[in-house]
Amino acid sequence: MIDDRLAGLALADHPVPTLVVSLDGGIRYANNAALAELGLRRVDPCDPPRLDAWATPQGGGLYDMLALAASSSNWLPLRLQRGDETFHLRARGLRAGDGAAPAVLMTAVPDATAGFRTHAQQIRELNEQLALHRKTEAKLKASVEASEILKRELVHRVKNNLAIMSALLRTEARSAQDPAISSALLEASGRIMSISVVHEILDETGQADEIDLKAVLTVLTDRMRDSICPPHVSLHAEVCPVRVNIRKALPVVLLANELVTNAIKHAFDGRAAGRIDLSVERHQATCRLVVADDGIGMRPDETGAPRRPRIVSALADQLGASRTCVVEGGTHWTIDFAL
């Protein structure tokens, strides 16, 4: 026979809710954890509570399940339903002394589906966050694409406007009666044309922030050779490929235009032939622009000092560049700037 006193002493303070149930559904024993967590009343041996009055099994009849569990030495899963509450237990036959009535030992187990439900909820929340992230990413991508289109359109319009301005200034220069005015207009036209070339290359390459100095200076020297370089002066360019930000490209191109224009205007007076060389070399994190001619050298100013064009100094300062000018067998300008 089962000694209820010994069972009570062994299981009373066990933290896992534990029951001993007869095959007729009567609860013969419930430890303190079962009384507290399962909401059972204390077992009265004279009037034991009944399991079928307290909860309903899921998936089958109570007595069939108790008989099956009593005949098994392995733990069998059991779920009891009481209203909206579900209790997860395991049950197996309880060994008893000879002649004792069979009984079933039941202990509470964690809800195996709770972790799955929590995990599924986390997956749903992550999927919602991922969908929101993708929508935000798509909006940002569309915004960036629209911004790039607007930048390219701006570059295209600036290029066209600069080309028109340069052409208008050349037209005015040809109709000017004063040679000084005509020369000033042509110089202004050349400077605008050099800026226009930068935007032309940007427009052709679909870029808006960076440009290859080789591409822009090659086009610039070709235009100058065709527009202002006299037949007896040869203009040569040797530029290595260097990509620079547009903020550096503009002063570099303006410097090249200014130095080549000055050489064409002043270096070959009284000479039957002349040569101008423009080159760009890269040295690790720096770049060197060189414009050299084999002409008569720069004429001194009114005080007899060597001329230092102010616009060249201003552009070099804007570029943060060092510059040197050597007048010996011609004029040799060297501009060094950081990339």
What is the CATH number for 276? 3.30.565.10
How far is Cα 268 from Cα 294, in angstroms, rounded to an integer?
8
- The reply to whether 239 and 304 lie within a common domain is yes
| pLDDT at position 2 | 46
- The reply to whether 325 and 231 lie within a common domain is yes
| pLDDT at position 49 | 81
Mean pLDDT of 68-79: 86
Contacts of 129 (CB under 8 A, 6+ apart): none
Of 145, 173, 208, which residue constitutes the final position of a domain?
A: 208
- Per-residue pLDDT of 132-174, as tens digits, reads 888 888 888 888 777 777 777 776 677 777 778 878 887 887 8
CA angle 52, 54, 55 (to 5 degrees): 70
| pLDDT at position 329 | 84
Which of 4-18, 139-153, 217-231 bottoms out in mean pLDDT, i.e. has the lowest?
Answer: 4-18
Of 65, 93, 110, which residue constitutes the final position of a domain?
A: 110
How far is Cα 12 from Cα 217, in angstroms, rounded to an integer?
94
Quick one: pLDDT band at residue 289, thresholds 50, 70, 90? very high
**Containing domain of residue 236, as a range?**
212-339
| pLDDT at position 41 | 73
Identify the residue whose tokens are 């870029």.
Answer: 207
| pLDDT at position 87 | 83
Please say if the pLDDT value at position 114 is more than 70: no
- The reply to whether 38 and 90 lie within a common domain is yes
Identify which of 189, 195, 292 has the alpha carbon closest to the alpha carbon of residue 235: 292
Mean pLDDT of 253-276: 90
**Tokens, residue 151:** 């930048």
Provide the number of structural domains found in the chain.
Answer: 3
How far is Cα 330 from Cα 251, in angstroms, rounded to an integer?
24
What is the distance of C-alpha 132 from the center of its chain?
Answer: 17
- The reply to whether 336 and 237 lie within a common domain is yes
- The reply to whether 126 and 70 lie within a common domain is no
- The reply to whether 232 and 320 lie within a common domain is yes
Q: Where are the alpha helices (DSSP H) in the chain?
A: 4-11, 32-37, 51-54, 62-70, 112-175, 179-205, 213-227, 246-266, 310-319
Which of 91-105, 107-121, 231-245, 314-328 bottoms out in mean pLDDT, i.e. has the lowest?
Answer: 107-121
User: What DSSP assignment string belongs to 218-283?
Assistant: HHHHHHHHHHT--TTEEEEEEE---EEEHHHHHHHHHHHHHHHHHHHHHTTTT-S-EEEEEEEEEE
Quick one: pLDDT band at residue 10, thresholds 50, 70, 90? low
- The reply to whether 139 and 228 lie within a common domain is no
- The reply to whether 142 and 253 lie within a common domain is no
| pLDDT at position 98 | 62
Please say if the pLDDT value at position 299 is more than 80: no
Asked if 60 contacts 45 with a C-beta cutoff of 8 angstroms, the reply is no
How far is Cα 88 from Cα 284, in angstroms, rounded to an integer?
73
Which of 51-60, 71-80, 214-223 bottoms out in mean pLDDT, i.e. has the lowest?
Answer: 51-60
Of 153, 185, 208, which residue constitutes the final position of a domain?
A: 208
- The reply to whether 136 and 248 lie within a common domain is no
How far is Cα 45 from Cα 146, in angstroms, rounded to an integer?
82
Give the CA dihedral 137, 138, 140, 142, nearest 10 degrees. 160
Mean pLDDT of 32-54: 78
CATH of the domain at 75: 3.30.450.20
- The reply to whether 191 and 127 lie within a common domain is yes
| pLDDT at position 119 | 67
The dihedral through the CA atoms of 81, 82, 84, 89 has a sign that is negative
Please say if the pLDDT value at position 46 is more than 50: yes
| pLDDT at position 332 | 93
- The reply to whether 194 and 293 lie within a common domain is no
Select, from the ranges 33-47, 66-80, 169-183, the one with the highest average predicted confidence (pLDDT).
66-80
Please say if the pLDDT value at position 43 is more than 80: no
